[in-house]
Amino acid sequence: MNKTWNNKAWWMVVPVVLLVAFSAIIPLMTVVNYAFQDTFGNNEFYWVGIEWFEDLMESDRFFDALQRNILFSCIILAIEVPLGIMIALSLPKSGWKVNVYLVLMALPLLIPWNVVGTIWQVFSRTDIGLLGNTLVSLGFDYNYTRDVLDAWITIVAMDVWHWTSLVVLLSYSGLVAIPEAYFQAARIDGASKWATFRYIQLPKMRGVLTIAILLRFMDSFKIYTEPMVLTGGGPGNSTTFMSIDLVKMAIGQFDLGPAAAMSLVYFMIILLICYAFFTVVTNMDKAETKTGGAS
């Protein structure tokens, strides 16, 4: 029996394609255009080839910002992922308290990024801020506006407060999806809490943890609004991440060509790291599946 295919449904995809083209593809092509040309205004462009990329690879400013980004992302992942898992494990699995806890955990995620930076800017002030004033009263020489370590600690604490909830919610969804039969078998075998976590809960949470790590890496590596509002990239350039440096270069200095080249390299770094991480995790899952099937 021959089937008649109705291709009219593809017309429903056209608005989505046009929206994506307007919001992503067209701006990307504009950035690519600036990355290989120079302009002196009046919409006049001059071809420079890969000159901006060569200058970028020889720039200490770029690699310093890149190192700050990598360090920040590593710190954030090292704190938020274990902390989120521990909080998720401590939450009840049933009862009316579950909804209350989940709503409270989701509240920081609802706050706009610029508001988060403003909250912590006031919170950390040494004259009126609860955190800053308390630390100074206890004898600590705390001032995030002039001390590099204080600035980094404040930004990390701000990000942990803002985004750990995402890891908690994803981890909790993975935990409640584990069938009760696994825990019953563990209790019968006399497994400890650590053994239950190591051999049952953690493997079953691998999928959601992969998503959590990828999301947190991308968000932390692209962070801009919160540290920009809190420290403005200072003191000095100690908290000038690549996103902040990119905005300063494009808007502050109006170096559109170098900024466009830097944005493309920035995008490729995120894309390659995410692809490498996803490939490693996928291969681990395949190897585990084959091992389980062979046994």
DSSP calls for 203-240: HHTHHHHHHHHHHHHHHHHT--HHHHHHTTT-STTTT-
Q: What is the pLDDT of residues 49-61, one digit of tens each?
A: 898 899 888 889 8
pLDDT at 41: 67
Q: What is the pLDDT of residues 183-214, one digit of tens each?
A: 889 888 888 889 999 888 988 888 888 889 88
d(CA 11, CA 219): 34
Give 112-162 as a 3 state SS string.
CHHHHHHHHHHHCCCCCCHHHHHHHHCCCCCCCCCCHHHHHHHHHHHHHHH
List the chain domain ranges.
Answer: 10-49, 66-288
Q: What is the pLDDT of residues 112-170, one digit of tens each?
A: 988 999 999 999 998 888 999 999 999 999 999 899 999 999 999 999 999 999 999 99
Residue 39 Rama label (left phi>0; alpha psi -120 to 50; beta): beta
Rg for the chain, CA atoms, rounded: 24
- The answer, yes or no, to whether residue 295 has pLDDT greater than 70, is no
Q: What class, spelled out in words, does domain 66-288 have in CATH? A: mainly alpha
**Banded model confidence at residue 226, pLDDT cuts 50, 70, 90:** very high
Predicted TM-score (pTM) of this structure: 0.85
d(CA 217, CA 211): 10
d(CA 213, CA 78): 10
